Amino acid sequence: MYALTYERRRLTGIRSTWLILLTVLLVDAVIAALTVRQPALAQPVRVLTAGVPLLPLPVAALGAGAVGALSYGHEVRYPSLRLLLLPARRRLALLLAKLVVIGVFSALLATATLGLDAGVYAVVLHRVPAPSPALAGFAALVVTAGWIGLLAAGLLRSASAGLLVLLTLPVLVEPAVTALRGGLAGQRTTRALARALWPVGGSRAWLYGPLSGLRDTASLSPRGLVLLVAGPVLLLLLGYLVLLPRRRGV
């Protein structure tokens, strides 16, 4: 309970959290406003999630991941806190508290962006956007991004490294899965790899495409989508738990 209270106060008491929150909401609203004015792009899911093909993740997910990666900043920046975290049980309690707080923050951020973009959609087109199961998946993706940034930063002891992992995972995971599934069979290897590593276009996007209206939802099964979204979190969590007893401090 002490760790949860500490993490909640830390998150709400630093300026970077609010700056990231305001930046995400502003950028998200601008993207939604630009998208909804183009009839060819004004699908409800795409507008509500502010999907941009050139970004490896939606704006809300990038913001949640940034807050998650920065969540270890105080523990790393101030050596005096490390003495309190020498016992492994305290570090585990702090990790669980961070996962809970970042998860709640990310869920609220996803809800806020969806509500804001729904307002933009209603104001411009004068109708309420239809709900879609992809929106729940989008919210799950935002929470997952927050956890990936948190766990990667904790594992590598660097917020910058956590952000780098967050940005590279969507770029590398899907091509790797496609190759393992034999998607490159019968094609020119160079050309297939180039398309896999740059999957943007009229019908393709990164692995989050079905959750942002950037790609047909039928292109990924629910099981495959869950695996792609939750798999990195479980691997990072396993790596952190393996190294936890061998470390002193965070």
Please tell me the distance from the alpha carbon of residue 20 to that of residue 126, in angstroms, as a whole number: 30
Query: Which residues 6+ apart lie within 8 Å of 177 measured at CB?
Result: 224, 228
Report the alpha-carbon distance of residue 82 to residue 184 in Å, rounded. 48
Over residues 68-90, the pLDDT tens digits come to 999 876 666 665 555 555 566 77
Calpha distance 71→64 (Å, rounded)? 11
pLDDT(19) > 90: yes
Residue 43 makes CB contacts below 8 A (sequence gap 6+) with 213
pLDDT attached to residue 176: 64
pLDDT in tens, 165-179: 888 887 776 666 656
Left (φ > 0), alpha (ψ -120 to 50) or beta: where does 206 sit?
Answer: beta
The mean-pLDDT minimum among 17-26, 41-50, 184-193 falls in 184-193
Instruction: Give this prediction's pTM.
Output: 0.84
